[in-house]
Amino acid sequence: MELIVASTVGVLTAGGVYLMLRLRTFAVILGLALLSYAVNVFLFASGRLAIDQSPILSKYGDATYTDPLPQALVLTAIVISFGMTAVLVMIGLGAYLEAGSDRIDIDAASEDAAAEDAR
């Protein structure tokens, strides 16, 4: 089970980094979402992978339990990443509507700014 979770975190991280390095706005947003999913899975797995165990200590002396703190952290991270993704989508949509393309082209943007300053 640990191998599957570790592989999932690795694949999500690799995909997120690859998409973050693309020159398209939508791909960067998807890459950031994949990276946040990788962090969420990592945080969730840090609370021990235990099956059929209660999240609190039992009064009957059972010493095995799962830690509820990583679950709370993941729920908080999901809400924050959803809000952040929504803001980034709106910024990217505004940039697309203004420029007519979602391509991130730093050299062309600096040339356009220099041409406007020369006028």
Average pLDDT over residues 47-62: 68
Give just the sign of the alpha carbon dihedral 106, 89, 14, 103. negative
pLDDT in tens, 90-119: 998 998 898 888 887 767 655 666 566 666
Is residue 72, in this structure, part of any structural domain at all?
Answer: yes
Is residue 58, in this structure, part of any structural domain at all?
Answer: no
Is residue 57, in this structure, part of any structural domain at all?
Answer: no
pLDDT at residue 60 tops 90: no
Strand partners, 24: 103
The label of the residue with tokens 């059972």 reads 62
Is residue 59, in this structure, part of any structural domain at all?
Answer: no
> Quick one: pLDDT band at residue 23, thresholds 50, 70, 90?
confident
We report the CATH number of the domain holding residue 103 as 1.10.287
pLDDT in tens, 26-47: 999 999 999 999 999 988 888 7
Is residue 87, in this structure, part of any structural domain at all?
Answer: yes
**How far, in Å, CA of 7 to CA of 16, rounded?**
14
Is residue 33, in this structure, part of any structural domain at all?
Answer: yes
Domain that residue 12 falls in = 2-52+64-118
**pLDDT at residue 46 in the model:** 80
Q: Is the distance from CB of 30 to CB of 19 less than 8 angstroms?
A: yes
% of the chain exceeding 90 in pLDDT: 36
pLDDT in tens, 80-96: 999 999 999 999 899 88
Domain total for the chain? Answer: 1
What is the pTM (predicted TM-score) of this model? Answer: 0.72
